[in-house]
Amino acid sequence: MPQSFTSPLSSQQVKSAALSAGFAVCGIAPAGLLSAERAGQRETMLRRGFHAGMDYLERNEEKRLDPRLLIPGARTVISVAWPYPPRPAQGAPIAAYAFGRDYHQVVKAALRDFAGRLGLAEPDVCRCFVDTAPIDERYWAWRAGVGFIGRSGMLIVPRLGSRFFLGEIVTVLPADTYDVPLTPDIASHRLCGVCRRCLDACPGGALTSDGLDARRCLSYLTIEHRGPLPPAASRWMHAAPGTPLFYGCDRCTEVCPYNAACPVAEAAPAEGKVPSVLAPSFLAENSGDAAFWTHLSVEDYRALFKDSAVKRAKYEGLMRNIAAFYAPADDVAAPSATADASAILGEASPAAPSVASATTDKTSAEGQDLLPR
């Protein structure tokens, strides 16, 4: 039954419907302007060029700062998190999130199912968003109490980790109860404790005190970036710790203690619900086959990655990545990471941040001793 335009949403019913639609976590926040703190972070990011070639982040800034401009009369932002599992043991050298069907399709379908369960109709009463609209997803997930922003810049859900896709329903209806953030401000890393594993693990040093510098980030370089890769990219792809990948980068996720012992893998959607694009039998036979990947044809690319997020890089970008990934070690120079950064940024590189190692004898194998109790 369609929801009345005057009666508020029941927060209890909203969260029950979210779980029924397949989401792991749901939070509700009043729609409004981003906090001055977050707006300042965005201004710094754009001013310093941390968005690299993602020019779309410069557009529609007024809507990013205020989701009420996305739908007239918006009063509520419902934020949800959809889980995905770690990379399979036998898997192609691509990031975990890119396995299975394109998450844009999967999560958008689930959001519309969720909205339907609440009787919310698009586009008059609500709009559903998954990573493609000018809305600050991580901010609203923080504001709605879904999780907190870690030093990695990722949204982390306590007891569930950070392997999630985020989605939002912005609606004109109010809610009877709104959630509160888990931390007093979005920049607080209190729930990370003294852990800095993600900073230590990032091969390009992309994680800065002012946020993620995409120019140093392998995920950006191998997915969004158009044109040649920086000379250091090949070495960064194989840098320890973490699994060598030619599409994306999972290192900050792999080393995060919040992901060390969480039920996300079990909670992830079943194979039947989210069909695998990359067949397990194929992965077992070809996951590390240099000859296969370096000779991948356009036709095989289209068949293999049909309905896959990997298509974001396009065929030319993927083959560029593969060439760098399988480049002979002798072809890759090995200057310091700081020198590499200077070449990429076209400027004097700042000194590498001084961070305490998270792999000392004082920590447990899982890193749990690094987190606040």
What is residue 129's predicted lDDT score, i.e. its pLDDT? 97
Q: What is the pTM of this model?
A: 0.84
What is residue 266's predicted lDDT score, i.e. its pLDDT? 45
170, 70 contact by CB (below 8 A): yes
Nearest-5° angle of CA 206, CA 148, CA 236? 20
What is residue 178's predicted lDDT score, i.e. its pLDDT? 98
Cis bond before residue 30 (omega within 30° of 0): no
Count CB-CB contacts under 10 A for residue 207: 24
What is residue 361's predicted lDDT score, i.e. its pLDDT? 31
CA dihedral 214, 219, 220, 226 (to 10 degrees): 150
For every one of its 373 residues, what pLDDT tens digit does the chain have, with 9 covering 90 and above? 455 566 899 999 999 999 999 999 999 999 999 999 999 999 999 999 999 988 888 889 999 999 999 999 999 999 999 999 888 777 789 999 888 888 999 999 999 999 999 999 999 999 999 998 999 999 999 999 999 999 999 999 998 999 999 999 999 999 999 999 999 999 888 899 999 999 999 999 999 988 999 999 999 999 999 999 999 999 999 998 888 999 999 999 999 999 987 764 443 443 333 334 455 445 545 556 888 899 999 998 998 888 889 999 999 999 999 999 999 865 554 443 433 444 444 433 333 222 222 222 333 334 445 555 4
Give the residue numbers marked as catalytic.
131
User: In the numeric block, which tokens belong to residue 118?
Assistant: 């609440």
What is residue 335's predicted lDDT score, i.e. its pLDDT? 41
What is residue 285's predicted lDDT score, i.e. its pLDDT? 53
What is residue 363's predicted lDDT score, i.e. its pLDDT? 33
Please tell me the distance from the alpha carbon of residue 368 to that of residue 44, in angstroms, as a whole number: 33
